[in-house]
Chain A
Amino acid sequence: DADVTQTPRNRITKTGKRIMLECSQTKGHDRMYWYRQDPGLGLRLIYYSFDVKDINKGEISDGYSVSRQAQAKFSLSLESAIPNQTALYFCATSDPDRGTDTQYFGPGTRLTVL
């Protein structure tokens, strides 16, 4: 089945380290998103991309950067990780041009910054 995958699934790192989270999808969707989930705060949008040449900041982009290497790949980087970036990170995809607005989420990456 077509799916959204994320690597790594869990990561522990130290303050100041650079870290990259990767997302791949086999759904053939044009749109990809990065969210972070914190208890009591829901899912907050970090960055989104509507195609390979289109990258947009979400509501909480400070401290993060992204790269859309191909239609199927969207990576999130923390240039210098800090403890308050400890969270669960989700990648998602969608393709409204196919008649549905559904976003399909990856399994998540649990990131701990010590």
Chain B
Amino acid sequence: GENVEQHPSTLSVQEGDSAVIKCTYSDSASNYFPWYKQELGKRPQLIIDIRSNVGEKKDQRIAVTLNKTAKHFSLHITETQPEDSAVYFCAASRRGTSYGKLTFGQGTILTVHP
């Protein structure tokens, strides 16, 4: 089955700096890569996702890049703000009727210091 490794496990940055979280996956057939944000005491929520037919996707201060050859993808947050502090999870799956289940990485605790 799929295996997703996520690094780093913790990340501390100053407000305004950039933050990068990296994930690698094992199943070359995986074609969908979402990122979820979980604030303290809250449920995980999707913040951005990418499909394997594109290499990069941006949404305001967040972006995701995908390297299919190397089987890794990354989350980039620019101009970090204290409200970006949360746990971030990457995940991978094969889109399609029979393979819609996600495999998650171990999570990254991001702390943004004012």
Q: Which residues of A contact B (CB under 8 A)?
A: 31, 33, 35, 40-45, 48, 50, 56, 58-59, 90, 94, 96, 101-103, 105-108
- With contacts A41-B106, A42-B89, A59-B1 taken as known, whether A50 is within 8 angstroms of B44 at the C-beta atoms is no
Given contacts A43-B89, A107-B43, contact A101 B100 (CB under 8 A): yes
Q: State the CA gap A21–B68 with chains docked (Å).
A: 38
Interface SS of chain A? strand
Can you name 6 extra interface pairs (CB under 8 A) apart from A35-B104, A42-B6, A107-B42?
A40-B106, A43-B107, A56-B101, A101-B49, A102-B49, A103-B46
Residues in A with CB closer than 8 Å to B107 are 40, 42-43
Bound Cα distance A50, B101 (Å): 10
Least distance between A101 CB and chain B CB atoms (Å): 6
Partner of B100, one of A40, A44, A94, A107: A94
Q: Which of B9, B34, B46, B93 has the most CB of A within 10 A?
A: B46
